[in-house]
Amino acid sequence: MTTELITEKKKLHPYQFYLWAGLGSIVMMFAGLTSAYIVKKSQANWLDFELPNIFMVSTLVIIVSSFTIQMAVKKFGEKNENQYRGFMTVTAILGLLFIILQVQGFRTLEGNGIALTGARSNSAASFLYVITGLHLLHVLGGVLGLIGVSFKAFSANSSMENELPVKLLSHYWHFVDILWIYLFIFLHWLG
């Protein structure tokens, strides 16, 4: 390889820069929210409650989805189109399942008499709702990206040449996975 080609490969693609900048701002947002949670928790009217077990199940689902997207990246690099398609599809399905489980967790809390919004709500439940709801929006964005990339993989003019969209999507997906693990630990043990 010539020096010019090596230098070309080491350059950060503008889309990678945009992704990292966006992820940095998301980290700052959740750091602010969890800091506010800690400050607000010290007030006298804070309601302590346990997260329903379904949040643990959703955590396992998103961890498995991180594995499946990594396998999709690997199969893309090996030019194994069928397995790549399969792993991308499974990852999208797991992402949708995560969203469904989270919504079911909210319903379980409401069923247990813990109002997440409105006049009956407590700031503890509202913080939980805002923090997990914002995370769900980011997961939904990732799921839409997964569905888009999966449709492209199944299209007639599918190409196994441009790995950038697959790598960017996998970085984003791993990020929302790690973010959820942090939030789950924070809300489960510190909350």
More confident residue, 61 or 148: 61
The total domain count for the chain is: 1
Residue 102 lies in a domain: yes
pLDDT of 117 reads 83
Residue 11 lies in a domain: yes
Exposure of 11 by Cβ count < 10 A (0-12 exposed, 13-18 middle, 19+ buried)? exposed
pLDDT over 60 (residue 3):
no
For the chain, give the mean pLDDT.
Answer: 89
CATH number of the domain bearing residue 160: 1.20.120.80
More confident residue, 160 or 189: 189
Residue 131 lies in a domain: yes
pLDDT digits (tens, 9 = 90+) for 34-89: 999 998 888 877 888 888 999 999 999 999 999 999 999 999 999 998 999 999 99
pLDDT over 80 (residue 158):
no
Write out the residue range of the structural domain in which residue 78 sits: 3-41+51-190
pLDDT over 60 (residue 4):
no
Residue 46 lies in a domain: no
- pLDDT over 70 for what percent of the chain? 92
Token pair for 157: 């003019």
pTM for this structure? 0.88
Residue 97 lies in a domain: yes
pLDDT over 80 (residue 5):
no
Enumerate long-range contacts of 183-191, CB under 8 Å, 24 or more apart. Answer: 183/30, 183/34, 183/131, 183/132, 183/135, 184/51, 184/55, 184/56, 184/59, 186/34, 186/37, 187/51, 187/55, 187/128, 187/131, 187/132, 188/51, 188/55, 190/38, 191/37, 191/41, 191/51, 191/124, 191/128
pLDDT digits (tens, 9 = 90+) for 105-122: 999 999 998 888 888 888
Token pair for 47: 């309601």
Instruction: List the single range of 33-37, 139-143, 155-159 with lowest mean pLDDT.
Output: 155-159
Which residue type sits at 138? H
